[in-house]
Amino acid sequence: MLDSPRNLSELDHRTFRTDEFWRVIPGWKDVSAAEFGSHLWQAKHSIRKLDQVQSILGDRISPSFIEDIAAGLRIAPMNVRITPYVFSLIDWDNPTDDPLRMQFLPIASQMLPDHPYYMADSLYEDVDSPVPMLTHRYPDKVLFLPLTTCPVYCAYCTRSRIIGGSTESVDKDTYGPNPENWEPAFEYLRTHPQIEDVVISGGDAFNLTPRYIRLIGEKLLAIPHIRRLRYATKGVAILPMKILTDNEWLDALLDIHRRGRELGKQVVIHTHFSSPREITQYSLDAATKLFSEGVHVRNQAVLQEGVNNSIDEMVLLTRKLSYMNIQPYYVYIHDMVPGCEHLRTTLWDGVQLEKNVRGTTAGFNTPTFVCDAPGGGGKRHVASYEYYDRENGISAWSSPNVKPGELFLYFDPLHRLSPEAQARWNDSDSRMAMIHDVIRRSDYEISEKARTKIARRLEGGAVATGGKR
Ligand code: SF4
């Protein structure tokens, strides 16, 4: 159920925090604005272990809450990494409900068992990978993953199977940047003239050195048919100081941006604000700097229970981004990946939010709400399902241009269903009956091969492609 809007003022989005908010954290009460505003200080003081949380917060955090985090980390698929910037924006007087704490420091008392049909590689990025580090799903676009480390680790990460190093519950093949390993991807791009668009993601482009930002940019811009590059980084949201003080990194990006313009090609940044509470004067300054250099920035948010599945939060996020000249591009329905069932919302939340955000600002600043269809169907508009059984939380999707003839299933989190629907899910016969009913009612003709594929997936239950889970 979505919160009712409380009538945001039309000017609320123009307020940006300018106070020295980090000084309420006992361990950082004496840190100056100059230190806090330095990307080097931020990187050096990033939180990577639970005992740092305790020592920095002192008696502002209770032993029972620390134990709750410790228990959460024992089962979570992601390691801890938080910048001081984000850590200081958490309301430590009420960490249980804080939307930033929820995104970066999971607690066991909020976590739920994974959905029966979760997948470690829910989007089939590995399946649709012709050469290592590359996913080729849409005809003219690829996803390039040159590294799998980030400046923060998000509890909801869709690539938790590879990002950020092994945890107690998941073994991962995390890798850092190594140009020797990228050559097969570059060669694939050179020999596939239909590809025009490359997303350089990971991991996070903030963790690429200036040399690697240039190397990747130059190699890709030199391929005649490639017209668009997107450097993907959550950094603008969680470490805006890097844009403001890491001149070497920014110069590398601006050089590639300039070179792209000379060649008539687009070089942009894709970033990742999910909550308006991540936004301060630092964010506005970083966005303004990129804007003044002519760099276009687009935002991709992830819809999460308790974080942003309220009309006010989503409208405020949209308006703040627009005010900062960051284009609110996508809001994703949470992928069906392990360890974050408590963060998933229903598809219906997404449909309702879309309806309530649309009309609050200009159309070109209204994000498209999408469900990335599990099994590699690609991003589909939330209201474009073939059939949606809301009572049992089952939706069916087609993707005629990506995988014609196939049908894809998305499942709402079980804890959001009625007790009667949960009971049906607990009975394997009625579960199968209701899923097959949705397939039958879907107004889309699927091939026999696709039917067999779905049946195999349903019989197999959880289809994990890696890890100990
Ligand atoms: S920044 Fe992106 S890739 Fe890295 S942990 Fe967060 S969601 Fe995953």
- Asked if residue 42 is part of any domain, the answer here is yes
* 129: its two tokens: 């990978």
Residue with CA closest to ligand 1 atom 1: 234
Number of domains in the chain: 2
Block residue for tokens 């931020």: 42
Q: How far, in Å, CA of 2 to CA of 186, rounded? A: 45
Closest residue (by CA) to atom 8 of ligand 1?
157
Q: Based on the domain organization, do 158 and 63 belong to the same domain?
A: no
Last residue of some domain: 364, 385, 406?
385
Number of H helices, E strands in the chain: 17, 12
Q: Are residues 51 and 197 in the same domain?
A: no
**Distance (Å, rounded) from C-alpha 266 to C-alpha 260?**
6
- The tokens describing 251, both together, are 């110069």
Backbone phi and psi for residue 79, each to the nearest 5 degrees, phi listed first: -75, 175
What is the reported pLDDT for 202? 87
Task: Say how many residues make up the chain.
Answer: 469
Residues 366 and 282 in one domain: yes
If you take atom 3 of ligand 1, which residue's CA is the nearest one? 203
Task: State which of 154, 174, 239 you would mutate to test the pocket of ligand 1, scoring each by most atoms of that ligand within 8 A of its C-beta.
Answer: 154
Whether residues 336 and 378 share a domain: the answer is yes
Instruction: Identify the domain boundary among 328, 358, 385.
Output: 385
| Residue closest by Cα to atom 5 of ligand 1 | 153
Cα(435) to centroid of ligand 1, in Å? 32
Domain boundary among 338, 365, 385: 385
Tokens 């070089």 found at: 267
CATH number at residue 357: 3.20.20.70
- 164 CA → ligand 1 middle, Å: 9
pLDDT given for residue 468 in this prediction: 33
In a domain, 56, yes or no: yes
Report field, pTM of the whole predicted structure over 0.85: yes
Give pLDDT tens digits along the chain (469 positions): 677 666 788 889 999 999 999 999 999 999 999 999 999 999 999 999 999 999 999 999 999 999 999 999 999 999 999 999 999 999 999 999 999 999 999 999 999 999 999 999 999 999 999 999 999 999 999 999 999 999 999 999 999 999 999 999 999 999 999 999 999 999 999 999 999 999 999 899 999 999 999 999 999 999 999 999 999 999 999 999 999 999 999 999 999 999 999 999 999 999 999 999 999 999 999 999 999 999 999 999 999 999 999 999 999 999 999 999 999 999 999 999 999 999 999 999 999 999 999 999 999 999 999 999 999 999 999 999 999 999 999 999 999 999 999 999 999 999 999 999 999 999 999 999 999 999 999 978 888 888 888 877 787 654 333 333 2
Residues with CB under 6 A from ligand 1: 150, 153-154, 157, 159, 163, 202-204, 234
Residues 376 and 278 both lie in one domain = yes
Pairing of strands 141-144, 134-136: antiparallel
Q: 154 is in which domain, residue-wise?
A: 134-385
Asked if residue 328 belongs to a domain, the reply is yes
Residue 82 lies in a domain: yes
Mutate which of 234, 273, 278, 340 to test ligand 1's pocket (most atoms within 8 Å of Cβ)?
A: 234
Do strands 368-373 and 407-411 pair parallel, antiparallel, or not at all (unpaired)? unpaired
For residue 449, being part of any structural domain is answered with no
Pair 220, 165 in one domain = yes
CA atoms of 82 and 150, how far apart (whole Å): 10
Q: Which of 295, 297, 296, 333 is nearest to 314 (CA)?
A: 333
Same domain for 74 and 191?
A: no
Residues 189 and 286 in one domain: yes
